[in-house]
A and B are shown apart, each in its own frame.
Chain A
Amino acid sequence: MDATNNEPNWRTEHSLHPLKKIEIIVKGKRETFVQDLLEESGVSGYTIHRNVAGKGTSGFHEGNLLFNDEASLVMFFAVSDESKIQTIIDGLTPLFEKSSGVMFVSDTEVVRLKKFVGKASEQ
């Protein structure tokens, strides 16, 4: 939708802004590493799903939270601008050379841009 200078402010506040989304699935023991990577990449926030089950090249993984927190998979997702997502990709690519895990990057759109990128980026 096009926003022009003549339109009221509420119209621009509800417009969508393109950003990148990264989804990461790793073994539970890599949670700390990925969390640190996300923190230091400068993304403003992220979501963690623990005890994720699923199948990959090494077989099916299913957590049993009663007795083993490490056996399950952990899923992260974060939304930010392309350069920060690229930093995360650059940190995960070498990791996945040695340990299992996947990442998916896709285009996404958000309404409140400030929540996802700092002021400087917005300008």
Chain B
Amino acid sequence: MPTDLSALRARVENAANVLGRCWPLQSYIAANPLAGFEDRPFNEAVRHARALFDGCGYPRANQLRYAWNAGAIDPDHLQERLRAHEQTGPLETLLAELEGAEIRSESPAPRADDPLNRIMAKWLAVFLDQGQAAWSMPHREKGFYAAWREVAPYDTQIPNRASLRTLPERAVDALAAGLDGHPESQWEAILQHHLTALPGWAAFIKWRVQARHDAWQAAHPITLIGYLAARLHTARALGLSVTPNNERSAANRRPPNDDEYAERAAPWLEAWEATYREQLLSDLEIAASTTAQASASPRPNAQLVFCIDVRSEVIRRHLEETGPYETFGYAGFFGLPMQYEAHGTDARVELCPPIVDPKHRIRETPTADSGDAATHDRWQAWAQAGRSLVKSLKQNIAAAFGFVEASGGLFGAALAARTLVPNWLRTGREAWTARIPQPDDFCDLTLDRTPEADTPDGLPVGLAVQEKAAYAEAAFRLMGWDRFAPVVVFTGHGSETANNPYQSSLDCGACAGHPGGPNARVLAAICNESEVRAALRERGIDIPDDTVFLAAQHNTTTDAVQFFATPALTDTQAQIVAQLERDLNTAQDHATAERAPTLRGADLKRSTADTERRAVDWAEARPEWGLSGNAAFIIGRRALTSQCNLEGRAFLHAYDWQADANGTALAQIMTGPLVVGEWINTQYYFSTVDNAVYGSGSKITQNVVGNFGVWQGNGGDLMTGLPLQSLQSDDTTPYHHPLRLMAVVQAPVDRVKRILNRNAQLRMLFDHEWMALAVMDPEQNNAVCRYQPGGTWQDESEPSASTTEDAASVSEPERAMSV
């Protein structure tokens, strides 16, 4: 590879730094759209991003007005923050000035590169299609650039399309040719300009490049170089310059007083955050002082482990009120980095966070003598055949007309039933499903290492005993368990929603946007194995013989908790489970009653039935709130939070500082789940403050493209964030409060300092104010200590050791770079 081409690849990599990450709809992951800017302070990052994406980085004036009127911004905090930003004047006047400084959304003037964007979005949509199109683009197996090069010369939207016939065969050569005449010093600016013209599409390509094992990427590969080569040559064929200056007219840039808006909005955001955080810390301090006096509780009847997800807090609180139960928060993939192959499908689903690679494959396989499997498979086959037939009839040119004539009445009746009596349909479907055996009833999980089931291109199937013990041990150590109840339930979670392309955004983020039930089943089954218990005993974890582990799934739309098939239970265990099921039903009613007033139009008297209707109503744009409202991440014992109503706004990770003397578990929690919490929080933040740029606009005008994404109307950029209806109660009333995440850690402050000193990446997020950190030190009577950007701690005069740099360590890499 010639030298300049290897430099070109690096320039493309650098230019793509500013792009966020975008996963396909089936595994939607909430991630910071400004992840590429996290190496800069927050206020600087949002201004840079505004210049590139034209997006607002601070809450809108109407959102701040709403918070101010609702009393969510404390006047004292506001005055203090305004003084810090050197802003003075009556608050109402300042707010009015803030509203005046906001850029009104106007129809943007046409841009010179609009035709280019339309053409590129069209080619990307047809190439990347994942089975939605009836007719696929030809030559896709050759890769994007090669396929485009074959077909684009026939695109009548490109005036000088004949010029495309003579392009180089290799994408990298074509890109170099496209940049011909521009020195290397200009490459990054040009490439970044073209990548940020359609940032959603570019972000999705970036994901595809990194997802090497994705089946669609393997079958139809695409690279950023291929896309940029096609884009630059299309621009030239349209008679456009490839340089940034000429292509986007200056008239479309935001006026300079937009910076004024950022300056004016910053103290209001900070005061809003301070108001929430101070209240939270005050509540926790009171709770800590109360519970410190409480004596140790007797052995609970059951312990339930939920995901750290903010939605778990509500159901946990209501369940704990019903009886002698303990609940814990743990990452919803239960620490199992696994790929899951459900019965009757070849698809392998990755059930672990996006920052973890799966390491094991777990298959659902029917037990040897199961007649139920045959019954289930027969019905599945019929249902699949029916769906295929209907799709063929709808898409076949000749059949479509007759099919509509013949089936119109049936479809009309189904449409009416779905709209008018969705609950009735749900009941009918459940009754029908209950008659057909489900895989959960007749399948086992391949938990044991099964080398003969391995495939050359796949992960090892099953786990060795020591691996099983290691995952179980990690779970108990991270959560700081010191005792086991007769019944322990690992509870994954998933959403239930109809006609919703964003369903996976409501499922478990720690399972890459899938329900976490399978992970719960695997960990429960592992913990029931006698060999694993023996291995755990050697590792110092003694599970009593009278403890059984069960798996369940929390339906976050209806707050129902359903058990998976249970192993044989003793009489005592069976009694506890029966009572637990009743108490879970009570907790469901209480939890839905608490949530109902937040959902517009909810039936407050029949809140559970109302959530069940939302779960199946195909016209319901707000089935549930997902993680809306999230603002805090609390790492500590449940005793710290159990007396507080956290209103479903806090991630809760169980942690016992006394069981983790060397801080290993806390380091794992802070560099894993907490970082994912920051991803989620920033996604909700930016989707709220500028829904058109960082979110995905209204669901009403969205269309699914290629089965992997959405766009507005019938073209344009791929929308990467959350829809308006996931964040706002109506067009003007925000539901999600755009506040940056507050991490609260109950641990000795020296331990947290050590962890920050050893994890520069994590410390950067606090130093750059992407999230805030407070430590409640149990060795100092739970006194609150706040981390300050730069490495100091509030109420402490001495700077942290983390702020000093070792000169020797600086010089060595620099010398190496000069080689």
Which residue numbers of A lie inside 8 Å of B, CB to CB?
30, 32-33, 36-37, 40-42, 55-62, 64, 66-71, 86-99, 102-105
Q: Does A58 contact B760, Cβ atoms closer than 8 Å?
A: yes
B590 within 8 A of A: no
Q: Does B17 contact A103, Cβ atoms closer than 8 Å?
A: no
Known: A41-B6, A64-B667. A69 touches B357 (CB 8 A): yes
Q: Does A60 contact B355, Cβ atoms closer than 8 Å?
A: no
Q: Which of B6, B210, B353, B814 contacts A90 (CB 8 A)?
A: B6
Minimum CB–CB distance for A53 against chain B, Å: 8
Q: Which residues of B contact A97 (CB under 8 A)?
A: 14
Interface residue ranges of B794-819 to A (CB < 8 Å)? 802, 805-806, 809-810, 813-814, 816-817, 819
11 A–B contact pairs at CB < 8 A? A33-B9, A59-B763, A61-B760, A62-B759, A68-B672, A69-B357, A70-B355, A71-B355, A94-B11, A95-B14, A97-B14
Q: Does A87 contact B6, Cβ atoms closer than 8 Å?
A: yes
Minimum CB–CB distance for B176 against chain A, Å: 14
Max chain A CB contacts within 10 Å: which of B10, B802, B819? B10
Q: Does B813 contact A90, Cβ atoms closer than 8 Å?
A: no
Interface residue ranges of B639-688 to A (CB < 8 Å)? 667-669, 671-673, 675
B356 within 8 A of A: yes
B122 within 8 A of A: no
Minimum CB–CB distance for A44 against chain B, Å: 14
B240 within 8 A of A: no
Q: Does A60 contact B667, Cβ atoms closer than 8 Å?
A: no
Q: Does A59 contact B760, Cβ atoms closer than 8 Å?
A: yes
Minimum CB–CB distance for B758 against chain A, Å: 5
A-contact 0/1 string along B746-767, CB 8 Å cutoff: 0000000000011111111000
Q: Does A57 contact B673, Cβ atoms closer than 8 Å?
A: no
Q: Does A32 contact B209, Cβ atoms closer than 8 Å?
A: yes
Q: Which residues of A contact B675 (CB under 8 A)?
A: 68, 71
Q: Which of B212, B667, B761 contacts A32 (CB 8 A)?
A: B212
Minimum CB–CB distance for B447 against chain A, Å: 19
B455 within 8 A of A: no
Q: Which residues of A contact B353 (CB under 8 A)?
A: 67
What residue of chain A has the Cβ atom nearest to residue B759's Cβ? Answer: A62
Q: Does B819 contact A104, Cβ atoms closer than 8 Å?
A: yes
Known: A67-B672, A68-B671. A57 touches B13 (CB 8 A): no
B3 within 8 A of A: yes
Known: A69-B355, A103-B816. A88 touches B671 (CB 8 A): no
CA distance A91 to B9 in the complex (A): 7
Q: Which residues of A contact B3 (CB under 8 A)?
A: 86-87, 90
B251 within 8 A of A: no
Q: Does B760 contact A60, Cβ atoms closer than 8 Å?
A: yes
B25 within 8 A of A: no
Q: Which of A60, A86, A104 contacts B816 (CB 8 A)?
A: A104
Q: Which of B2, B9, B757, B810 contacts A60 (CB 8 A)?
A: B757
CA distance A59 to B806 in the complex (A): 9
Q: Does A64 contact B672, Cβ atoms closer than 8 Å?
A: yes
Max chain A CB contacts within 10 Å: which of B758, B760, B806? B760
B331 within 8 A of A: yes
CA distance A71 to B335 in the complex (A): 17
Q: Does A57 contact B810, Cβ atoms closer than 8 Å?
A: yes
Counting from the closest, the 9 A-B pairs by CB-CB distance are A67-B672, A59-B760, A91-B6, A94-B10, A102-B813, A98-B14, A90-B3, A95-B10, A105-B819
Known: A41-B6, A102-B816, A105-B819. A67 touches B331 (CB 8 A): yes
Q: Which of A41, A61, A103 contacts B759 (CB 8 A)?
A: A61
Q: Which residues of A contact B389 (CB under 8 A)?
A: none
Q: Which of B4, B9, B355, B802 contacts A67 (CB 8 A)?
A: B355
Interface residue ranges of B83-125 to A (CB < 8 Å)? none
CA distance A61 to B760 in the complex (A): 6
Q: Which residues of B contact A66 (CB under 8 A)?
A: 335, 474, 668, 672
Q: Does B17 contact A57, Cβ atoms closer than 8 Å?
A: no
CA distance A89 to B3 in the complex (A): 9
Q: Which residues of B contact A42 (CB under 8 A)?
A: 1
CA distance A103 to B210 in the complex (A): 23
Minimum CB–CB distance for A117 against chain B, Å: 16
Q: Which residues of B contact A70 (CB under 8 A)?
A: 355
- A41-B1, A60-B759 known, 13 other contacts, Cβ within 8 Å: A32-B210, A33-B13, A40-B6, A57-B810, A60-B757, A66-B672, A67-B672, A71-B759, A87-B6, A93-B10, A94-B11, A98-B17, A105-B819
A-contact 0/1 string along B332-366, CB 8 Å cutoff: 00010000000000000000010111000000000
Q: Which residues of A contact B14 (CB under 8 A)?
A: 94-95, 97-99
Q: Does A94 contact B7, Cβ atoms closer than 8 Å?
A: yes
Q: Which residues of A contact B13 (CB under 8 A)?
A: 30, 33, 95
CA distance A29 to B147 in the complex (A): 29
What residue of chain B has the Cβ atom nearest to residue A59's Cβ? Answer: B760
Q: Which residues of A contact B673 (CB under 8 A)?
A: 67
Q: Which residues of A contact B764 (CB under 8 A)?
A: 58
CA distance A36 to B671 in the complex (A): 28
CA distance A107 to B598 in the complex (A): 68
Minimum CB–CB distance for A59 against chain B, Å: 3
CA distance A60 to B755 in the complex (A): 10
Q: Which residues of B contact A98 (CB under 8 A)?
A: 14, 17
Q: Does B671 contact A64, Cβ atoms closer than 8 Å?
A: yes
Minimum CB–CB distance for B296 against chain A, Å: 30
Q: Does B760 contact A69, Cβ atoms closer than 8 Å?
A: no
Q: Which residues of B contact A57 (CB under 8 A)?
A: 805, 809-810, 813-814
A-contact 0/1 string along B199-230, CB 8 Å cutoff: 00000000001101000000000000000000
CA distance A71 to B6 in the complex (A): 26
What residue of chain B has the Cβ atom nearest to residue A57's Cβ? Answer: B810
A-contact 0/1 string along B1-43, CB 8 Å cutoff: 1111011011101100100000000000000000000000000
Minimum CB–CB distance for A72 against chain B, Å: 9
Q: Which residues of A contact B802 (CB under 8 A)?
A: 59
Q: Does B813 contact A69, Cβ atoms closer than 8 Å?
A: no
Minimum CB–CB distance for A123 against chain B, Å: 21
